Amino acid sequence: MDGVPQDVPLVRSTVATKEAALAREIMDSSYGASLRLSGRLEGQEMRLARTDVDRFTIDDLVLPGRLRFACDPLSRPLVTVTGRGHLGIDCRGHSNHPRPTTPLMTPYGLPYQVVSRSAAMRVTALDPGLLHDTLGTPAGERTRLDFLELQAPTPAAAQLWQAATVFVSQRLAGLESVPSLLSGQLAHLLAVTALSLFPCRTPDPRRVDSTDATSATLRRALAYIDSHAHRDITLADIARAACASPRAVQQAFRSRRDTTPLAHLRRVRLEQAHRDLQAATPDTSTVTRIAARWGFAHTSRFAAYYREVFGHPPAMTLRHGAPRP
């Protein structure tokens, strides 16, 4: 395999103002739509602290006073969790006024209205393409995602989202850039969690033509994975390279390799991490850093995968390097 994983920029920014007119400009530019803010900040500070990583952003947003927004359709889905105060959203005649700590999916691609009162919240914006990639939606079927529910259904679901966002924030803490594969894994974690809380309508499943799940399909998929494992690739990317649907590619891997495309991708990256550990020393690198380079966000899971394949923990390889002939 040629190439090594690259880093993607991690941009942190903070803006704050007590001026309502400037607050309107900040909100509009931050979310890419006219939000038409009205109301008063009541002499308090509106504050937005953003972490921007490739296919998602995480904002800590404080909206003082009593504010209203008449929002144009957004280009990205937003998951909002209010820590204190009140936030309510009205869309298509339905009102959503969740309790604090309950994740709320902001309507996507539709106009809506917001009312906030002394609200402090965390807002996670997700790339629609990321959600489609996670769903495995074929390129020709990628329409606006239509979420069936806008509020997390249970306290357990709310805790699941909280755990995911805390984990992502912890993995990004102190970093100025992020290995592209780690960024992709963190984005995928947020996407999977969001889709489990907020299911959406998807195209009717197609019947898989077994003639598509051929050895040629598998061969093209394997070649693509082997040459692109250092990049942030998805099942949809693998399927396009294999000239087949995602379902056909999955069937080809199951029937001919007794595995899945993404499990094979993980194995290829695990072997690359093994080579890097052999070449490194404890003075120049760490297991966590090498695991992150190859897209393993959970160091403990990486260690478990590694031990299963190589028979010993990754730290042992790092300490002793490549085996002597």
- For residue 69, pLDDT over 70 is answered with yes
Q: Are 272 and 240 in contact (CB under 8 A)?
A: no
Q: Are 53 and 186 in contact (CB under 8 A)?
A: yes
Tens of pLDDT, residues 101-115: 999 998 888 899 999
HSE at residue 103, side-chain half, CA atoms within 13 A, is 29
Strand partners, 78: 106, 125
Query: From CA 113, how far away is CA 119, in angstroms rounded?
Result: 15
163 CB neighbour count, 10 Å cutoff: 12
**Side chain identity, residue 9:** P
- Supply the DSSP string of 160-197, one letter for each residue: HHHHHHHHHHHHHTT-SEEEHHHHHHHHHHHHHHHHHH
Alpha helices, DSSP H, located in the chain = 20-31, 128-135, 155-172, 180-197, 215-228, 235-242, 246-257, 261-279, 287-293, 299-310, 314-320
**Side chain identity, residue 175:** L
Query: From CA 117, how far away is CA 243, in angstroms rounded?
Result: 52
The overall longest dimension of the chain from CA atoms, in Å, is: 74
Tens of pLDDT, residues 139-191: 777 888 888 888 898 999 999 999 999 999 999 998 889 999 999 999 999 99
Q: Are 316 and 278 in contact (CB under 8 A)?
A: no
Strand partners, 26: none
Tens of pLDDT, residues 287-310: 999 999 999 999 999 999 999 999
Proportion of the chain above pLDDT 90, given as a percent: 71
Band (pLDDT 50/70/90 cuts) for residue 72 is very high
Structure tokens belonging to residue 240: 């396009």
Tens of pLDDT, residues 228-272: 999 999 888 898 899 888 889 999 999 999 999 999 999 999 999
Q: Are 293 and 5 in contact (CB under 8 A)?
A: yes
- Supply the DSSP string of 247-280, one letter for each residue: HHHHHHHHHHHSS-HHHHHHHHHHHHHHHHHHH-
pLDDT at 2: 62
Query: From CA 26, how far away is CA 34, in angstroms rounded?
Result: 11
Which segment of 3-17, 189-203, 270-284 scores lowest on mean pLDDT? 189-203
- For residue 208, pLDDT over 50 is answered with no
Q: Which phi-psi region, left, alpha or beta, contains residue 279 (left: φ > 0; alpha: ψ -120 to 50)?
A: alpha
Chain mean position to CA 103: 16
